[in-house]
Structure 1
Amino acid sequence: MKKPLLILSLLALPAVAEDTRQLAELKPAAQETLRKEMLDNLIALNSIVSLLAANQVKEAGEVAEKELGRSAMGKNATLPFDARPGPQMPREMHQLAISGHIAATDFARVAASGDRDKALAELPTLLGTCVACHASYRIR
């Protein structure tokens, strides 16, 4: 008796909305590089938030710069072209990525002061660049 009820319940759910984000057509090797990089970025963001929660503000800034900031730009330059996502991205997507690196460096500069409130105030700008890109683009 419970199976038909479950099926009826599922039929009542709204259809999944169409993904309207722009498709960034990257070669498979570049897709793999980008997916790994995004996972690494998520791990770095988690470390930054955890460090801020522990009031280790300067350390959060160091992670931001090393893993996400301008210091992290160009880390794929030595890969074969097919594995490099940056040059294959739509221009606007690449600009968002660069803006993310700059926002991370700006956050790191503020965090270097050790002022937690100022660092927290800067964090939404850093996260906002991630959200803007992920809300606008997809790779599959």
Structure 2
Amino acid sequence: MNMKIHHVAIIFGLTMMPISYAQPEMEQGTNGVNSPDVRMPGEGRWGMPGHGMGRGQGMQWRQGANLTNPATIPQSLENKSRLFVEMPPKVQQVLLQDMSSHQAALIQVYTLLAEGKLNEAADIAEVQMGNSARGKHRGTGMGPGRFMPFEMRRIGWSMHESASEFARIAKKADITQAQAYAVLQKVTAACVACHYSYRIR
């Protein structure tokens, strides 16, 4: 239950990831399955600061700021390092609605996990947040993805893929709640990475 509260607390106050269209770059994961190589902009492998980390982020990393843990991010760094992404007002509203839907779905998933209802949690994760939810604005001219920097879209791809990965694993008969929570954490990590790096208003 504490784990559930921890992850839900991360999501409150955040608007979730947008719908995106292109395919993510993939790398071989530790479980032998190809998964997105998710790193924050400017972050190297294994959490080390990468080339191009600017605006004091490298120094903050050396001073102990963990870019995937909002609790360790100084307020000044959080405000200064977020890149403003401009979108038309109507597209911005579409994005906010999508993220609100993802937020509600994620809370449902955590609630079902706490109740041991893994199959139901898997279904909601796939339909509302997974790859099944991608591309729903295609052809409408209202898709937010075309206004996003590549790295922002890449984080969005990872959120969708991680939700689908959770849905697949949660359907297995021998999966434990702890294992399911561990996989679902990748979804919340993508949310934190995006909202630490970007803003739309």
Are 1:26 and 2:26 an aligned pair? no
1:77: which partner in 2?
138
1:11: which partner in 2?
none
Alpha-carbon distance in structure 2 between the residues aligned to 1:29 and 1:92: 22
1:56: which partner in 2?
117
Alpha-carbon distance in structure 2 between the residues aligned to 1:136 and 1:98: 15
Report the CA distance between 1:117 and its aligned residue. Answer: 2.4
Give ranges in structure 2 of 5+ residues lacking alignment. 1-74
Alpha-carbon distance in structure 1 between the residues aligned to 2:192 and 2:136: 22
1:29-69 CA deviation, whole Å, 9 max, x = no partner? Answer: 11000000110010000000000011001111111100000
1:1-48 CA deviation, whole Å, 9 max, x = no partner? Answer: xxxxxxxxxxxxxxx847221111111111000000110010000000
Alpha-carbon distance in structure 1 between the residues aligned to 2:88 and 2:79: 20
What is the TM-score with the length of structure 2 in the denominator? 0.58
CA RMSD in angstroms comes to 1.4
If you compute each CA radius of gyration, which structure gives the higher value, 1 or 2? 1
Alpha-carbon distance in structure 1 between the residues aligned to 2:92 and 2:193: 19
Structure 1 ranges of 4+ moved more than 6 A: none
Give ranges in structure 1 of 5+ residues lacking alignment. 1-15
Report the CA distance between 1:78 and its aligned residue. Answer: 3.5
| SS state at 2:79 partner | coil
Alpha-carbon distance in structure 2 between the residues aligned to 1:108 and 1:126: 11
Are 1:129 and 2:190 an aligned pair? yes
10, 32, 38: which one pairs with 2:99? 38
| SS state at 1:26 partner | coil
160, 164, 167: which one pairs with 1:101? 160
What is the TM-score with the length of structure 1 in the denominator? 0.82
Q: Which has the higher helix share?
A: 1
1:60-84 CA deviation, whole Å, 9 max, x = no partner? Answer: 11111000000000011142x2x21
